[in-house]
Amino acid sequence: MKGILFTACLTILALVVLTASFMFYQQGIEEQGTTARFALFDRIADEFSAAENGFREILEACEVNISVNGNTVTISEPLPNPNSDDFSVNIESWKTFVEDNSDFSTTVDLSGLGDELPIYFNGIRYYHPSFGGNIIRITNASEVTAYSVSLQVNTDGNIDVTEDTEPGSNSFELSITTNTDSYYNSWSLDFSRGSDLDIIIENGDTYEISVTVGSVSDYGWLNIDNTGSVDMDITTAVTLSTKPAVMLSEQSINITESQYNISRVSSVKIM
């Protein structure tokens, strides 16, 4: 009888040890899987970061400079931008490089980019109807509280500004310099109504630049048209009611890892 009980006890003990061993083994497998998933998340994040850095380098090569200070986004570039052809080539090369050098299944969607080079911050859209053309436009601008526009005209010339403005509570500043003249003014405008500023640069030739701010249908709308195609650099500072995050398009990069079914779709964060 004692022998039977002893054998039974040994059997039960062996089962307990075996069960515990199996549980520890399973736990180890699960922990390895969790560690592997976290490592994949890190690798995907690194790939996004590298792709974003590459796009920022393209912007810099095209002389499109973006900075954020508090609630203000400042964008500087030539208008018209002479780098449009280089941009088209570089952006396709960037897309190919990101897709071909990824450790995962990666696609870059440039369909939202077109030839407009749209830059988004808090839903506001800064873009070019045609990148390399004469117009910069800001739409969906209900969060804009103030603008400051600076035009550096790279030629001699006298400056004349004709204004047709709608008074209000939003700040708008305009500064213009040529090699031989300068101009500055500020207004308190109603961004829900249109105000027009017509600029003439006269140096024997006549160059026209038109600035329109505010719209009944799109509060804060801004349109700057270098009608005369004068060589100039433009800096546009846009102040918002909240802190901005600056993005390219809506959804630009899709990275998928098949083993753990991890997928991330995101825009390119610029700032």
Residue 54 has pLDDT above 90, yes or no: no
Please provide the average confidence, as pLDDT, over all residues in the chain.
81
Percent above pLDDT 70 for the chain: 75
Residue 258 pLDDT: 56
Higher pLDDT, 182 or 257: 182
Which of helix, strand or coil describes residue 188?
A: strand
Residue 207 pLDDT: 94
Provide the terminal-to-terminal Cα distance of the chain, rounded to the nearest Å.
80
**Would you place residue 102 in the very low, low, confident or very high pLDDT band (cuts 50, 70, 90)?**
confident
**Would you place residue 20 in the very low, low, confident or very high pLDDT band (cuts 50, 70, 90)?**
very low
Using alpha carbons, select from 110, 111, 112, 106 the residue that is nearest to residue 254.
106
Using alpha carbons, select from 172, 173, 147 the residue that is nearest to residue 71.
147
Angle at 213 between CA 208 and CA 214, to 5 degrees: 150
CA count, 13 A, side-chain hemisphere, 208: 6
Distance between CA atoms of residues 161 and 172, nearest Å = 15
Residue 194 CA to chain centroid, in angstroms?
27
Whether the Cβ atoms of residue 230 and residue 79 lie closer than 8 Å to each other = no
Q: What is the pLDDT of residues 111-168, one digit of tens each?
A: 767 678 888 888 899 999 998 899 999 999 999 999 999 999 999 999 999 999 999 9
Q: What is the pLDDT of residues 198-245, one digit of tens each?
A: 999 999 899 999 999 998 888 999 999 999 999 999 999 999 999 988
- Tokens in use for 259? 């083993």
Distance between CA atoms of residues 237 and 176, nearest Å = 14
Residue 12 pLDDT: 54
Residue 82 CA to chain centroid, in angstroms?
21
Q: What is the pLDDT of residues 141-150, one digit of tens each?
A: 999 999 999 9
Which of helix, strand or coil describes residue 266?
A: strand
